[in-house]
Amino acid sequence: MTQPLRIGTRGSPLALAQAHETRDRLIAAHPHLAAPGAIEIVVFKTTGDRILDRTLAEAGGKGLFTKELEDALLDGRADLAVHSMKDVPTWMPDGLEISTLLPREDTRDAFFSRGGHTVDTLPAGSVVGTAGLRRQAQILERRPDLTVVPFRGNVQSRLAKLDAGEVDATLLALAGLRRLGLTDRITAVLEHEEMLPAVAQGAIGIEIRSADEATRALLAPLNCAATTARVTAERALLAMLDGSCRTPIAGLATLDGDRLHLKAKVLSNDGRQVFRAERSGSASDAAAIGADAGAEIKAVLPPDFFKS
């Protein structure tokens, strides 16, 4: 290689941990990349990193954490970009694609509270901070007597705000906490029956230029087929529903051998309206399974449901 393989990433501790995992997996698959200077990690600040005074929904939804990384791919400042797949829109810019999905982490959400309360034992009127409508809606579905407020920032800053008493409780993805070694702070892990995860939660995706066959070949050994099937189904669900951070949509695909099962859930922001669908089939039909579940829910949604 005449120049370093440049890994584009955001600069948060979690994003850097994911970039380092990608680098380490590349070196394990291709030992020559362990040579000094063979791989370079390049940090970019995204729109989502800059906007911390309002929710993602208010700021414009998905794409806020990917655009600057994609611009760097398109103009040659990076050879690959590492994303949390739950942040990646279902449409991709021309000339770019997600070529690789790493093995998926735990998809559950973690609950943190002051005083050791669980979701069910929080006193009425307690304030729960969360950055996403999916968690807000599912908390209010279960506990309409709680108050949910916007809560932006990286993992460390949100936990600091909790410690400072800005909120009584908050939720974070267990996957990120495991990657950062912060699981000792968790009050409770929420099972999927309590809190269905975001589409592609816990999955790391790697985006490349579609014409860059050399980088594609380097990444090929890193791809996880099981994660690919699961995320394909979930993102097809999201695409059918035209989902963004403005809409509380949850979905999880699981595998049993070559059989894929998908659970999907769409809620109103206040958690009062809930629509569900489930589908099962061959993992090879993952995209069709996701689209079919999305179509079932879409058919029964009230008019202008996503505009409310």
Give me the active site residues, please: 87
Tell how far CA 155 is from the center of its chain. Answer: 14
Between the alpha carbon of residue 293 and those of residues 194, 262, 287, the distances in Å are 20, 8, 10
Quote the CA–CA distance of 266 and 287 in Å, as a whole number: 18
Name the amino acid, one letter, at 289.
Answer: I
The owner of tokens 């050879």 is 79
Closest by CA to 290, choosing from 202, 200, 156, is 200
Please answer whether residues 266 and 248 qualify as being in contact, where contact means their C-beta atoms are separated by less than 8 angstroms.
yes
Distances (CA, A) of 144 to 83, 189, 269, 295: 33, 20, 11, 28
CA dist 9 and 15 (Å) reads 6
Tracing tokens 């403005």 back to the chain, one arrives at: 246
Q: Helices 13-29 and 155-163: crossing angle, nearest 10°?
A: 140
Distance (Å, whole) CA 174 – CA 133 = 17
Per 3-state DSSP, what percentage of the chain is helix, strand, and coil (rounded to 5)?
40, 25, 40
Place of tokens 């097809």: 236
**Beta strand 127-130 with 259-267: parallel, antiparallel or unpaired?**
unpaired
Task: Return the structure tokens found at 225.
Answer: 């087929």
